[in-house]
Amino acid sequence: MTPALMIAVAVVVISSAATIAVSAAYKWQVTSKGYITGMRIVGVATVLALTAVTAWTRSDDTVAVVLIVVGGFALAVGYLWLHMRLTKKLSDAGVESPL
């Protein structure tokens, strides 16, 4: 297993643990401000960390690194935008917890 793959796996494991920790801390109240903020931070951090690992694996190709970084930031912005839409729809529908 390459170092980059081990780092990527660690990022996903840590992200999963952080998702569970945030969810438990806010008792799965998906429309609470703390839950929303926590999930956005975890999501963006995960996308950017995986972007960094991917760019690192292609460090010998400058064009690829630039495209990977631009794509990673676009994915992070897209994640935020979609998360904002989802939480607004859940809030408007009166959903507090999926449990």
The 10s digit of each residue's pLDDT in 22-77 is 999 999 998 899 999 999 999 999 999 999 999 999 999 999 999 999 999 999 99
Is the pLDDT score of 97 beyond 80? no
**Cα distance between residue 62 and residue 11, in whole Å:** 24
Q: For residue 98, what pLDDT is reported?
A: 67
End-to-end CA distance of the chain: 38
pLDDT band at residue 99 under the 50/70/90 scheme:
low
Please give the C-alpha separations between residue 55 and each of 5, 17, 45, in angstroms, as whole numbers: 12, 24, 15
The pLDDT assigned to 91 comes to: 87
Q: Within the chain, what is the greatest distance between any pair of CA atoms?
A: 50
Q: Which amino acid is at 11?
A: V
Q: What angle do CA 43, 49, 54 make, to 5 degrees?
A: 125
